[in-house]
Chain A
Amino acid sequence: MAVDKNQRILVVDDFQTMRRIIINLLRQLGFTNVCEAPDGKIALERVRSEKIDLIVSDWNMPNMTGMEFLQEVRKDDAIKHIPFIMVTAEGKKENVIAAVHAGVSNYIVKPFNAATLKEKLVKVVGDF
């Protein structure tokens, strides 16, 4: 089944430039229905109040980190099914293991390119 490229993707990062990079890379891959949030706390509010199909989130953020955000998402029955891709500059093995234990769907280490983003998206949402 073809992947719905109109699915709503939430991009979370405290660096506005990084949000723009991810949003534009997603756009180049054909995903144009994208929204954004500057930290986990605001992102959690959005996920609880809007229909979000996929989350792409940074790890290190003020107010609520990506890991805390992921844990909150996975605790909430109404939203725990949403695929969650973690993007981080920390490629440490223990971080990856912690994220997997918390229920992350996939993990991207910065800096990354469009090909890596596509590869991880395919693993999470299916081929496109």
Chain B
Amino acid sequence: MSEDNKMDLGAQLDALDQSEEKFVPIEEVRQLTNAVRAFFQGEFSGPDLELYGELGELARFINRMKSELREFQPNMIADEKIPEASDQLDAIVQQTEKATSRIMDALERVDNVHRDVLERLMCNEPPLDPDVMAGVEDSFTEAGTALTDVYEACNFQDLTGQRIMKIIKALREIERQVLRMVIVFGLKNEESELNESDKMRLEENVDLLEGPQTGNKGMDQDEIDDILSKLL
């Protein structure tokens, strides 16, 4: 409401209060009515009206989300797509770790053979020609440098492994949040076919989904499937 409107209404109410007239002329009643109308128009055209509009927008957004959730089958996301993506990434980590392990096995064997051959040559009786021995040692040093290069290159497995594990963790968090959203909207949906016992169990599950699942407290896949079938 504008300051002018406030003052206008205030002044007219004061004048009315102080008036000793038994009757108020119709013109003054009309002015007072207009001032009251201006007051309320002002009231609802300020920031509160904006907030009201925001709330309406939020309500429409929630409704839209609910129908989109039904259309896009969040059960597919929570129940199939995310676990499938997590499994694929898990498989990549395992396969690259296995491959790196095989490379390391082979490298260690080559390294051991090198050391063994070099030791035998150095202990050879009669001793090998010093020039020949120096050349052999240079060659082994070069081979050792190449081995070191391959060991260094194997660093990739640790980094990719750790980063993929982070992505898997993020995917599982999204899965948990989607499932939680499905339950929360499902509980509010009056059209759902849930009985009281189902609702109580779902409310417990919403609490469980508040944080990351630990130990045996989390829901197993059958429970998740059961919830999704009742809600969607």
Contact = CB atoms under 8 A, between A and B. Distances in A.
A27 B158 contact: no
A20 B156 CA distance: 13
Mostly helix, strand, loop or mixed at chain B's interface? helix
Nearest to A32: B115
Interface in A63-94: 89
Given A21-B154, A24-B111, A28-B147, A110 B159 contact: yes
B162 A21 contact: no
Interface string B115-154: 0000000000000000000000000000010011001101
Contacts, number: 60
Contacts of B147: 28
A104 B117 CA distance: 40
Given A17-B97, A17-B104, A28-B144, A110 B151 contact: no
B151 A17 contact: no
B28 interface: no
Chain A CB within 10 Å — which of B100, B108, B155, B156 has the most? B155
A7 interface: no
Contacts of B154: 17, 20-21
A114 B147 CA distance: 11
A21 B104 contact: yes
6 contacts: A17-B154, A21-B104, A25-B148, A27-B111, A113-B148, A114-B152
Interface of B: 97, 100-101, 104, 107-108, 111, 144, 147-148, 151-152, 154-159, 161-162
